């Protein structure tokens, strides 16, 4: 998408747009005025339209530009580059720009920013100049291998999860582009890399108590709410006082907040109403006494600004874990902690899923089952107790009516049948010792 920008040194306007995977900036001598901006906006629309149709001629729009002379014009392509007639379909970069324009209104601001960064930094430099019709499975595998060699912030190579995320974006764009131009997309046969299992390191109830007791006092309500409700970081940071209903004893999750500003929830199902347990209610009431006039957010800085997730993580969270001697883990583990505590307490999984903002219970059993004793026992004792409790008496009565044993024997048999497997094992052990 072509943008109108201002050159700081001169105060004049210039056009900034993507063409064949490259960033193009064409200067003008026009000062920054509303009238000049309208002129350039009209020119920008014409450029976008020509690029999408595949008939953009660089020299036609910018005859004095060095790019027109160096091969930026498809009609005067540099040696080794494809000629205009060789690819009737747009390049990956050209279609990607159209796809972003069409899809952008459906995205949250944070996701829109993330897509833009991924396209500009990774995808377009690798695939942007290739026409859709020329991209094959080999290109995609080679591009995927290039991503795998990249280094992350910690200096290590990027994870399989990150690679799959980037390739998922490539697949979506390529599939849509090929469908529109009657092509068979090579991305549909590309398999995802195997990812490691989601690392879940919840805190125990004793550790939760310790975290709340030892955190800085001004962050104690924030930690209490996150540890006992399972709110995502953006959901907790986006809470506003209008979302808290003390009379009904509930609060609503309506939005998220990040460094990119306020945004919608992750999914429609993430908008939900959560009941307040006494500790959470007390945390909100304590936080209300610290409210800053004119500040809509529940959790905020001392100056009334919304929470900064990065600042909290680096200055509060990790130092707290080190001080307590607990294994380092990201703040998101507070969400896992709430989930495991709710399930271990015997709450209905559907209720837990609703509190966490999941549409189904599938993720609960897939991710948290090994942390909940009642969900992981495999000795059959629970089933044996259920069957014995409901069917034992009937079996005894049926036996008594057929064989008519003495009344005392029937009563003794019924008593034995009513015992749990553990009690029966203990009784047999005592009997052996006595004999």
| pLDDT for the residue numbered 418 | 57
CA–CA separation, 366 vs 164, rounded Å? 20
Q: Has residue 238 been placed in a domain?
A: yes
Q: Has residue 197 been placed in a domain?
A: no
In total, how many domains does the chain have?
4
If one counts every other C-beta atom within 10 angstroms of the C-beta of residue 274, the result is 20
The residue out of 156, 189, 222 marking a domain boundary is 189
Q: Has residue 200 been placed in a domain?
A: no
| Whether 253 and 297 share a structural domain | yes
| pLDDT for the residue numbered 258 | 81
Say whether pLDDT at 80 is over 50.
no
Say whether pLDDT at 404 is over 60.
no
Tell me, what CATH number does 287's domain have?
A: 1.10.443.10
Q: What percentage of residues in the chain have a pLDDT greater than 70?
A: 78
Give the end-to-end CA distance of the chain in Å, rounded to a whole number.
Answer: 91
Q: What is the mean pLDDT of residues 232-259?
A: 92
| Whether 331 and 229 share a structural domain | yes
| Whether 80 and 156 share a structural domain | no
Identify which has the larger pLDDT, 117 or 181.
117
Q: Has residue 287 been placed in a domain?
A: yes
Q: Has residue 199 been placed in a domain?
A: no
| pLDDT for the residue numbered 406 | 47
Nearest to 224 by CA among 334, 310, 302, 320: 334
Q: Has residue 196 been placed in a domain?
A: no
Helix H segments across 54-159? 58-61, 66-70, 92-103, 109-118, 124-127, 137-149
CA–CA separation, 78 vs 320, rounded Å? 59
Model pLDDT for residues 127-178, shown as the tens digit of each residue: 998 899 889 989 999 999 988 888 766 667 788 888 999 999 999 999 999 8
Say whether pLDDT at 74 is over 50.
no
Question: pLDDT class for 259, splitting at 50, 70, 90?
Answer: confident
Nearest to 186 by CA among 139, 136, 244, 228: 136
Domain hosting residue 236, numbered range: 205-374
Q: Which of 67-71, 75-79, 220-224, 411-415 has the highest mean pLDDT?
A: 220-224
| Whether 369 and 293 share a structural domain | yes
Question: pLDDT class for 267, splitting at 50, 70, 90?
Answer: confident
Residue 31 phi, psi dihedral angles, 5° rounding: -70, 160
| pLDDT for the residue numbered 72 | 52
| Whether 127 and 178 share a structural domain | yes
| pLDDT for the residue numbered 391 | 57
Tell me, what CATH number does 174's domain have?
A: 1.10.150.130
| pLDDT for the residue numbered 194 | 85
Identify which has the larger pLDDT, 349 or 196.
349
Q: Has residue 416 been placed in a domain?
A: yes
Structure tokens at 102: 């069409």
Structure tokens at 33: 């005025």
Say whether pLDDT at 346 is over 90.
no
| Whether 290 and 386 share a structural domain | no
What pTM, to 2 d.p., does this model score? 0.57
| pLDDT for the residue numbered 195 | 77
3-state per-residue secondary structure call for 151-175: ECCCCCECCHHHHHHHHHHHHHHHH
Model pLDDT for residues 15-47, shown as the tens digit of each residue: 888 887 678 888 888 888 888 888 888 888 888
Question: pLDDT class for 87, splitting at 50, 70, 90?
Answer: very low
| pLDDT for the residue numbered 287 | 94
Beta strands in 181-297 (DSSP E): 244-245, 250-253, 256-258, 261-263, 272-275
CA–CA separation, 303 vs 415, rounded Å? 70
CA–CA separation, 368 vs 149, rounded Å? 33
CA–CA separation, 306 vs 233, rounded Å? 12
Cα Dmax for the chain? 114
Q: Has residue 195 been placed in a domain?
A: no
Structure tokens at 244: 């808290």
Identify which has the larger pLDDT, 182 or 235.
235
| Whether 210 and 325 share a structural domain | yes
| Whether 412 and 368 share a structural domain | no
| pLDDT for the residue numbered 265 | 74
Identify which has the larger pLDDT, 337 or 379.
337
Question: pLDDT class for 285, splitting at 50, 70, 90?
Answer: very high
CA–CA separation, 5 vs 96, rounded Å? 21
Identify which has the larger pLDDT, 77 or 239.
239
| pLDDT for the residue numbered 10 | 84
| Whether 57 and 99 share a structural domain | no
| Whether 362 and 427 share a structural domain | no
Question: Which DSSP category does 240 fall into?
Answer: B
| pLDDT for the residue numbered 83 | 43
Q: What is the mean pLDDT of residues 349-355?
A: 89
Question: pLDDT class for 86, splitting at 50, 70, 90?
Answer: very low
| pLDDT for the residue numbered 168 | 94
| pLDDT for the residue numbered 399 | 47
Using an 8 Å Cβ cutoff, are 365 and 375 in contact? yes
Q: Computed from CA positions of residues 312, 316, 319, 324, in that sequence, does the dihedral angle turn out positive or negative?
A: negative
Say whether pLDDT at 48 is over 50.
yes
């Amino acid at each position: 998408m072509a943008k109108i920008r201002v050159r700081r040194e001169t105060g004049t306007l210039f056009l900034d747009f993507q063409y064949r995977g490259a960033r193009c900036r064409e200067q003008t001598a026009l000062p920054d005025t509303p009238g000049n901006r309208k002129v350039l906006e009209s020119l920008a629309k014409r450029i976008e339209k020509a690029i999408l149709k595949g008939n953009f001629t660089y020299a036609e729009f910018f005859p004095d530009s060095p790019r027109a002379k160096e091969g930026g014009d498809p009609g005067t392509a540099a040696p080794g580059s494809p000629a205009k007639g060789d690819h009737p379909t747009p390049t990956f970069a050209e279609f990607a720009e159209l796809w972003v324009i069409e899809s952008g209104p459906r995205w949250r601001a944070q996701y829109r920013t993330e897509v833009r960064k991924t396209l500009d930094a990774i995808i377009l430099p690798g695939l942007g100049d290739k026409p859709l019709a020329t991209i094959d499975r080999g290109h995609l595998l080679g591009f995927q291998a290039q991503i795998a060699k990249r280094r992350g912030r910690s200096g290590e190579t990027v994870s399989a999860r990150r690679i799959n995320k980037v390739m998922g974006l490539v697949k979506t764009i390529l599939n849509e582009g090929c469908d529109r131009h009657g092509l068979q997309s090579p991305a549909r046969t590309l398999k995802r890399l195997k990812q490691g299992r989601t690392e879940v390191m919840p805190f125990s109830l004793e550790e939760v108590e310790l975290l709340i007791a030892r955190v800085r006092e001004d962050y104690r309500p924030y930690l209490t709410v996150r540890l006992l409700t399972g709110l995502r970081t953006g959901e907790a940071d986006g809470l506003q006082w209008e979302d808290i209903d003390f009379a009904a004893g509930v609060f609503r999750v309506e939005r998220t907040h990040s460094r990119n500003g306020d945004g919608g929830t992750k999914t429609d199902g993430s908008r939900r109403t959560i009941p307040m347990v006494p500790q959470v209610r007390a945390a909100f009431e304590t936080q209300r006494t610290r409210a800053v006039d004119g500040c809509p957010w529940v959790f905020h800085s001392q100056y009334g600004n919304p929470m900064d997730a990065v600042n909290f993580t680096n200055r509060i969270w990790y130092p707290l874990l080190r001080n307590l001697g607990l294994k380092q883990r990201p703040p998101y583990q507070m969400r896992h902690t709430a989930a495991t505590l709710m399930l271990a307490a015997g709450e209905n999984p559907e209720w837990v899923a609703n509190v966490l903002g999941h549409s189904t219970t599938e993720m609960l059993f897939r991710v948290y089952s090994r942390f909940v004793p009642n969900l992981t026992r495999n000795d059959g004792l629970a089933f044996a107790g259920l069957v014995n409790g409901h069917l034992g008496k009937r079996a005894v009565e049926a036996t008594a009516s057929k064989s008519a044993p003495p009344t005392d024997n029937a009563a003794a048999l019924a008593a034995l049948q009513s015992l749990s497997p553990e009690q029966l094992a203990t009784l047999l052990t005592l009997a052996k010792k006595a004999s």
